[in-house]
Amino acid sequence: MSQSLKGKRALVTGASRGIGAAIVKRLAREGADVAFTYASSPDQANAVAKEVEALGVRALAIKANSVESAEVVAAVDQAAAQLGGLDILVNNAGIVAIGPVDDFKLADFDRVFAINVRSVFVATQAAVKHMKEGGRVINTGSTNAERMPFPGGAVYAASKSALQGLVQGLARDLGPRGITINNIQPGPIDTEANPKGSEFATMLINQFMALKRYGTGDEVAAFVAFLAGPEAGFITGANLMIDGGFSA
């Protein structure tokens, strides 16, 4: 590894497993001290923290429910206090809720937007108070902001589309301070919640993918590490696909 993030301090939300955990580990391998939040599964979170510490950097696992704005702010402030500041925020926490319009509950709608949109704004608002010039904010969006090819995904797609407008607007607010903000927009990625060997995965690969496979958490994490690093300093307000051609 190039250790391009040596000495940097990062916070990743929703990172005890899946894409989030892969991001935490990649940032650590690049030399960053990394705090991360988790809503449940403390054993998984502790395992990720131990793996990070074995790389010779600091790790901090913080229990925080992204539905609760006060917990999000407290997690940001705790990470900044214990790491001595923040240079990188990765807003990775998110949920998926799929269902037909006739049956979709408003409580589920509110929860999707609370986690996928509101918590991103809340965490960003709190984090940039601790950032100096060169700070990085990176959000995990979705290719479904651009393409939702099957029924039932309207609310999820809308929440990820909202991040596009949020990032473009915040780029104007943060640019004069030398802080960049971008969305990555993954397509189908092999995770516990969406494994590459399922019937659903086979359908997606056969019908919608230009590359006939799922992506990996490590590929997404590498993209995040690039955006967090010094070579991405002129990229901001962007919505960047990593979807194997799903949206092509």
CB distance 239 to 164 below 8 Å: yes
Q: Structure tokens of 5? A: 């993030």
Residue 202 CB-half CA count within 13 A: 3
| CA quadruple 110, 89, 183, 245: dihedral, nearest 10 | -100
- Per-residue burial over 15-34, b if 16 or more Cβ lie within 10 Å, else e, is bbbbbbbbbbbbbbbbbbbb
Catalytic status, residue 156:
yes
| CA quadruple 151, 154, 160, 163: dihedral, nearest 10 | 150
Residue 205 CB-half CA count within 13 A: 16
List the catalytic residue out of 156, 223, 226, 246. 156
Q: Catalytic site residues?
A: 156
